[in-house]
């Protein structure tokens, strides 16, 4: 992997998230847990490049995000689709999802990601809040939150970007 800047990222962020998906990986000491996401964003806030992720409070990844200051968002080729499916439906509380998915953990500079990634965004948390029903101005509350289990929103400053050579 080679280091690039956030402005050198190649690809459409809408396709990268909605079509290809990504893994959010949070760690607590020796424990690293990947979770598949398709909701998120890339942008700028407070003059910093950021990745925005949405995680429901009942997810194991949420527990790990609450304990640590960093996380990664990583993107993969179509050959990893089955691995991403597994990481999206299984819980890290019950199994080592990465091992079951055949992913190779890399720990580097306080960040955890997987060697199979094509692009890794190394992020430092700079903001967290909960989506509140009174703020939803469309009918998506009923469609996306039938259980009223609103996501927490995390903004991570992108402090390092790694791209496959």
- For the full predicted model, state whether its pTM sits above 0.85: yes
pLDDT-derived band at 126 (thresholds 50, 70, 90) equals: very high
Mean pLDDT of the chain: 94
Q: How far apart are CA 64 and CA 138, in angstroms?
A: 31
- Average pLDDT value for residue range 86-115: 93
**Residues above pLDDT 70, as percent of the chain:** 100
What pLDDT is stored for residue 139 in this prediction?
81
Angle at 150 between CA 65 and CA 99, to 5 degrees: 40
Query: In this model, does residue 101 exceed pLDDT 90?
Result: yes
Query: In this model, does residue 143 exceed pLDDT 90?
Result: no
- Average pLDDT value for residue range 9-14: 92
CATH class of 2-163: mainly beta
- Average pLDDT value for residue range 19-40: 92
pLDDT-derived band at 138 (thresholds 50, 70, 90) equals: confident
Contact 1, 162 (CB under 8 A): yes
Give residues with Cβ within 8 angstroms of 159, minimum separation 6: 122, 123, 124
Give residues with Cβ within 8 angstroms of 138, minimum separation 6: none
Question: Does residue 110 come out as left (phi exceeding 0), alpha (psi in the -120 to 50 range) or beta?
Answer: left
Query: In this model, does residue 140 exceed pLDDT 80?
Result: no
């Amino acid at each position: 992997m080679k280091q690039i800047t956030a402005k050198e990222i190649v690809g459409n962020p809408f396709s990268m998230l909605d079509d290809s998906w990504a893994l959010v990986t949070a760690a607590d000491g020796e424990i690293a847990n990947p979770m598949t996401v398709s909701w998120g964003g890339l942008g700028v806030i407070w003059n910093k490049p950021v990745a925005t992720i949405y995680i429901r409070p009942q997810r194991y990844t949420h527990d790990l995000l609450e304990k640590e200051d960093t996380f990664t968002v990583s993107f993969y080729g179509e050959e990893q689709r089955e691995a991403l499916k597994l990481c999206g439906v299984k819980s890290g509380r019950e199994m080592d999802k990465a091992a079951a998915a055949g992913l190779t953990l890399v720990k580097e500079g306080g960040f955890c990601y997987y060697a199979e990634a094509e692009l890794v965004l190394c992020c430092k948390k700079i903001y967290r809040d909960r989506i509140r029903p009174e703020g939803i101005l469309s009918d998506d509350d009923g469609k996306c939150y039938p259980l009223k289990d609103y996501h927490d929103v995390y903004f991570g400053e992108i402090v390092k970007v790694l791209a496959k050579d």
